[in-house]
Amino acid sequence: MTFKTDIKTFAALGTGVIGSGWIARALANGLDVIAWDPAPNAEANLRDRIKKCWPALIANGLKPGASPERLRFMATVEECVKDADFIQESAPETLSLKIDLHAKISAAAKPDVIIGSSTSGLLPTEFYAKAVNPERCLVGHPFNPVYLLPLVEVVGGEKTSEEAKQAAITVYKNLGMKPLHVRKEVPGFIADRLLEAQWREALHLVNEGVASTGEIDDAIRYGAGIRWSFMGSFLIYTLAGGDAGMRHFMAQFGPALKLPWTKLVAPELTDALIDKVVDGTKDQLGNHSIADLERYRDDCLMAVQAAIRATKIKHGISLDE
């Protein structure tokens, strides 16, 4: 089957932090957006989130026709998806809820429309179990804030067709994103598995009194985090091997992998550990509100990405690399 890739109408089910981010990105790309969420005051909260992030989107550059006025809110799942050219679900991470929701979505959607889920770890084969035409159903896992961060992990289930995956990749690219095709259906996909490993180790360091939450964040943002923003891990380590590259790096530092530096098992989330983490992050917030730091985060993300784009052009590196 040929699936829609030239989309005009984007349907979004679930309008929390992730769902509203998808909606903001779609609106900024000049699309009509139809939204649904059963939560109380969902529409008012959504429009407030869009209003707050719109200045960042203006600064980042809007496509022709982009406007918050192109958002409509519907009362039912069926009304939300029946005229959509692409569907993105961002409901809570509850398997039974997603199974039932996707049965409704897929029954009401046009048969050539891709259905994506923002799940961060549930497997598509499981929650698309009752879906109609499951060959067009997949995961499109984004990262917060969705309206600025380009990465989206595309994961197919057992019944997802290759054509659907490629169509979804095209749609996400047209929304200004960097789709990453996850080759196997694995819990946590790629990015979250890496993040969870770092998060577990960070909690151990706090729990054992090695460092505060602020000191751990400093270790990332003044060190590896800067390198990760433009090269990731493998290429950085290749450079660390000198002219001999990765093979020399592996020979020199590979044995350290056997040393008991890190812990794979997560620490128990005791009240004492939770208090340490909460108190530490309160100190980091200082007198700034969450909204203040969201604006700071957005400005930093745009500045970093702009700097990387400019530097790639300077060095003749493709913007797609």
Q: Is 153 helix (H, G, I), strand (E, B) or coil?
A: strand
Q: What is the 3-state secondary structure (H, E, C) of 112-149?
A: CCEEEECCCCCCHHHHCCCCCCHHHEEEEEECCCCCCC
Position 253 scores a pLDDT of 84
> Measured between alpha carbons, how far apart are the two ends of the chain, in Å?
30
User: How many whole angstroms separate alpha carbon 169 and alpha carbon 14?
Assistant: 21
| Region(s) of the chain under CATH 3.40.50.720 | 9-181
DSSP secondary structure letters along 243-259: GGTHHHHHHHHGGGGGS
The answer to whether the bond into 145 is cis (omega within 30° of 0) is yes
User: How many whole angstroms separate alpha carbon 197 and alpha carbon 241?
Assistant: 24
Position 100 scores a pLDDT of 98
Q: What fold, for 191-286?
A: N-(1-d-carboxylethyl)-l-norvaline Dehydrogenase; domain 2 (1.10.1040)
User: How many whole angstroms separate alpha carbon 271 and alpha carbon 55?
Assistant: 39
Position 264 scores a pLDDT of 82
> What is the mean pLDDT, run by run of 10 residues, along the chain of 321 residues?
94 98 98 98 98 96 98 98 98 97 98 97 96 97 97 98 98 98 96 95 96 97 94 91 90 84 89 94 93 93 94 92 78
Do the strands 71-73 and 32-36 form a parallel or antiparallel pair, or are they unpaired? parallel
Q: Which residues of 63-83 are buried (b: 16+ CB within 10 A; e: fewer)?
A: eeebebebbebbeebeebbee
Q: What fold, for 9-181?
A: Rossmann fold (3.40.50)
| Region(s) of the chain under CATH 1.10.1040.10 | 191-286
**Taking a C-beta distance cutoff of 8 angstroms, is the pair 321, 312 a contact?**
yes
Position 319 scores a pLDDT of 87
86, β-bridge pairs: 10, 114
Task: Determine the length of the chain.
Answer: 321
214 token code pair = 């602020």
- Cβ neighbours of residue 267 closer than 8 Å, sequence gap 6 or more: 200, 203, 204, 207, 273
